[in-house]
């Protein structure tokens, strides 16, 4: 939960800078993609998530909800998974409005997908129109996420983890 809070704070801090960059003159060379982090450390994921999310921020009216699970061999992983699942279910139960973005990224993508499937099974069809869901992972897992979230009416965005 502490890591999630940190990622949300990071996302809040990144958004204003992202908006400012749009007003700058175009750069001569394209931005180099940061490598896919292999750790569970927030500092390692921040530049990667910023790079992956920036192109999808159009129409987003608040800071993204970032759901992140650490590596499966992390101490108390099962507890962290359960708390993350409960938070996601609570957030979805409250309802999401247009202009919200949900982001899912993890060095344990298989468990992340299980969490998404479990949480979205109770979301009413078509109840999340105008909400973006971004999943960063493999194409095969991306298809599972797509099948789980699209009935809710979200705009699904897949970003390959590489």
Residue 37 confidence class, pLDDT cut points 50, 70, 90: confident
Residue at token pair 């139960």: 93
> Would 28 be classed as within a structural domain?
no
Q: Give the chain's domain count.
A: 1
Tens-place pLDDT, residues 47-79: 898 899 989 999 898 889 999 999 989 899 999
> Would 29 be classed as within a structural domain?
no
Tens-place pLDDT, residues 107-156: 999 999 999 999 999 999 999 999 999 999 999 999 999 999 999 999 99
Start-to-end Cα distance in the chain:
25
Which residues have a Cβ under 8 Å from the Cβ of 49 and sit 6 or more positions away?
7, 10, 11, 66, 103, 105, 136
> Would 86 be classed as within a structural domain?
yes
Please give the residue range of the domain that contains residue 48: 2-22+34-160
Enumerate the β-bridge partners of residue 68: 105
pTM of the complete model: 0.79
If one counts every other C-beta atom within 10 angstroms of the C-beta of residue 11, the result is 21
Output the average pLDDT for the chain. 84
Residue 106 has a pLDDT of 92
Name all contacts of 18-26 with Cβ < 8 Å and 24+ positions apart: 18/50, 18/54, 18/57
């Amino acid at each position: 939960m502490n890591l999630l809070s940190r990622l949300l704070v990071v996302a809040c801090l990144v958004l204003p800078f992202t908006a400012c960059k749009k007003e700058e003159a175009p750069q001569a060379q394209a931005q180099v993609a940061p490598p896919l982090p292999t750790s569970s450390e927030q500092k390692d994921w921040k530049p990667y998530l910023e790079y992956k999310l920036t192109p999808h921020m159009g129409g987003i009216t608040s800071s993204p909800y970032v759901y992140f699970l650490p590596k499966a061999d992390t101490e108390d992983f099962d507890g962290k998974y359960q708390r993350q699942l409960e938070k996601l279910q609570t957030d979805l139960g409250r309802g999401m409005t247009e202009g919200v973005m949900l982001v899912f990224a993890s060095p344990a993508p298989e468990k992340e997908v299980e969490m998404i499937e479990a949480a979205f099974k109770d979301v009413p069809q078509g109840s999340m129109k105008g909400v973006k869901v971004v999943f960063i992972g493999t194409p095969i897992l991306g298809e599972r996420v797509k099948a789980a979230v699209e009935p809710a009416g979200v705009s699904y965005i897949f970003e390959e983890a590489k």
